[in-house]
Amino acid sequence: MAQTFHLSKTLLSLPLAGACLLAHAAWPERPVTMVVGFTAGGSADILARTIAEPLARRLGVPVIVDNVAGAGGSIAAQKVVRARPDGYTIFLGSSSEVILSRHFNNAIAYDGARDLRAVTLVGVMPMVLVAGPRTPATTVDAMLARARSHPGQENYASSGTGTALHIAGALINQQAHVSLQHVPYKGAVPMLTDIVGGNVDYGFFMVPSILGYLKEGKVKPIGTTSRTSCAVLAGVPALSSAKALAGYDFGIWTGIFAPKAVPDAVVARLNQEINAVLHESPVADKLDQACIEHAGGTPAEFERLIQADVQKVRQVARPEIGAVR
């Protein structure tokens, strides 16, 4: 836009820091693009559009959802890492593509915790550990007792090596000193088929993909990976309710990120408006229905959550697959 090149003499005479603040004082002046790492119609896309519409109203410019699918969201993350740090390209990302992918895939060139700037935590969703109908255990303690009495013989399914579902099981092994064997799958459907059929003992699932099976009694809920729950999981205990897993807390968080060098003033404005959006009734209701705890908060609080998860992942990455990053 032409006006960005016609700086006044007054602006040119200001110190650089002051000039930067004035240059971004009118932000945003054009549409903002929210990059999502998955196809249209999926859960990540639906969440992005739920936020984008009211955010556009509050910012006064369109917020365009850009679906950049592929490689588990890492292509989208890389696009934002390389984007111009002016606040016009932001990223709706989860712990999976921001943290996990790099530790389990040497082809990932970026470090999400270092190369992206945390803006706002959108919310945290628990995972659910279930047992098949032929598995004797119905509680967390019973599962751990069986794992100790049958070392290396009990197993759990996940949607793949390096996913949050895989890490959730690895953290149980590490904290409770058991040896549940990991069985990776390519998706929830084949996992469910083998769990219901008795070929696998347990499995970790995202809430939307397992709710129907829980309601129909096809699988037995063992526990949730987060200490906070939601209405749709009423009665399902947290895994941390077991003494051996006290303090266990590993949900999948989703948040808004920007390129690392984005100006502080832009981050502050985005944080303010997204926090407001998360407390609007229609948005909050949709998050509740998806079992997403809509937290919001400051960039610093979000950054602390990210760094805590980085440490958790590093602790399990080496023994699981010999990862060193």
Using CA atoms, how far apart are residues 138 and 220, in angstroms rounded to an integer?
A: 7
Name the residue type at position 237.
P
CB atoms inside a 10 Å sphere around CB 309: 21
Using CA atoms, how far apart are residues 224 and 211, in angstroms rounded to an integer?
A: 13
Per-residue confidence (pLDDT) for residue 227, from 0 to 100: 81
Name all contacts of 311-314 with Cβ < 8 Å and 24+ positions apart. 312/167, 312/171, 312/250, 313/99, 313/100, 313/103, 313/167, 314/103
Per-residue confidence (pLDDT) for residue 116, from 0 to 100: 97
Per-residue confidence (pLDDT) for residue 28, from 0 to 100: 97
Using CA atoms, how far apart are residues 281 and 59, in angstroms rounded to an integer?
A: 18
Per-residue confidence (pLDDT) for residue 111, from 0 to 100: 93
Per-residue confidence (pLDDT) for residue 317, from 0 to 100: 66
Per-residue confidence (pLDDT) for residue 189, from 0 to 100: 86
Provide the whole-model pTM: 0.77
256 near 122, Cβ under 8 Å?
Answer: yes
Please list the rounded mean pLDDT of every run of 10 residues in the chain (325 residues). 35 41 71 93 88 97 95 91 97 92 83 96 93 95 96 91 87 94 87 94 90 92 88 91 94 95 97 96 88 88 93 71 47
Using CA atoms, how far apart are residues 8 and 269, in angstroms rounded to an integer?
A: 25
